[in-house]
Amino acid sequence: MSTAPKMLHVGMGPSPLQEPLDRPTPRPRAVPAPSPRAGALRALRGRERLPVGARRANARARRRTPFLLFSGLVVGGLIVALVSAQALVAESSFRTDELSGRIDALRREEGRLKLSVAELRSPKRLHDAAREQGLVLPDEIHLVKVSLEEGVSDPGGGAGKAPASSTPAEQGALGAGP
């Protein structure tokens, strides 16, 4: 071997004038021979030595199993959640329909009650009810005029009292009794 630097010829390949690059040759690996005892143990366990490709597929299958289990649990959980949500929506829909029917019934009841109140307040019904109890319209109506100056000049003495009247018809017209 020479101490000169090794160079590559740029162009068509290595220069024939230079020696080729030293590359270490791979050393063959020694593979231990399987002992007859190890083979017997594998046979007892039911495991035969698999080729490399089959071992990789087997390893992938072992890694895939937890992933598939986890994925199945996640999808199953999502399905359960979706079905539960649909059940809640259906239940709330039935409740909404029930409440809408109740609202309609209450509105009809309100209309009947308003009609009843209007009928009870009608002047004709009040007139007929008063006659049944023996009330009659007065023959004469007398109006009494009260001036404010009289109420101010007599503080506390006659304020708020009706003037004394001589006839019961006048007392009924004023709305004050003895």
Indicate whether 72 belongs to any domain.
yes
- Residue 5, in any domain of the structure: no
Residue 97 lies in a domain: yes
pLDDT digits (tens, 9 = 90+) for 13-56: 555 555 555 667 777 777 666 666 665 555 555 555 656 666 66
94-138 pLDDT, tens per residue? Answer: 999 999 999 999 999 999 999 999 999 999 999 999 999 999 888
Closest by alpha carbon to 4, among 14, 26, 19, 15? 19
Domains in the chain: how many in total?
1
How far is the C-alpha of 177 from the C-alpha of 169, rounded, in Å? 10
Question: Could you list the residue range(s) of the whole structural domain that residue 94 is in?
Answer: 43-120
On whether residue 14 sits in a domain, the answer given is: no
Q: Is 89 a member of any domain?
A: yes
Q: What is the pLDDT of residue 114?
A: 96
Domain membership of residue 176 (yes or no) is no
CB-neighbour burial class of residue 164 (10 A; exposed 0-12, middle 13-18, buried 19+):
exposed
Closest C-alpha to 19, from 38, 5, 30: 5
Confirm whether pTM is higher than 0.75: no
Contacts of 103 (CB under 8 A, 6+ apart): none
Does position 152 have pLDDT exceeding 90, yes or no?
no
What is the Cα–Cα distance from 100 to 92, expressed in whole angstroms? 12
d(CA 103, CA 84): 28
* 67: in domain: yes
Residue 83 lies in a domain: yes
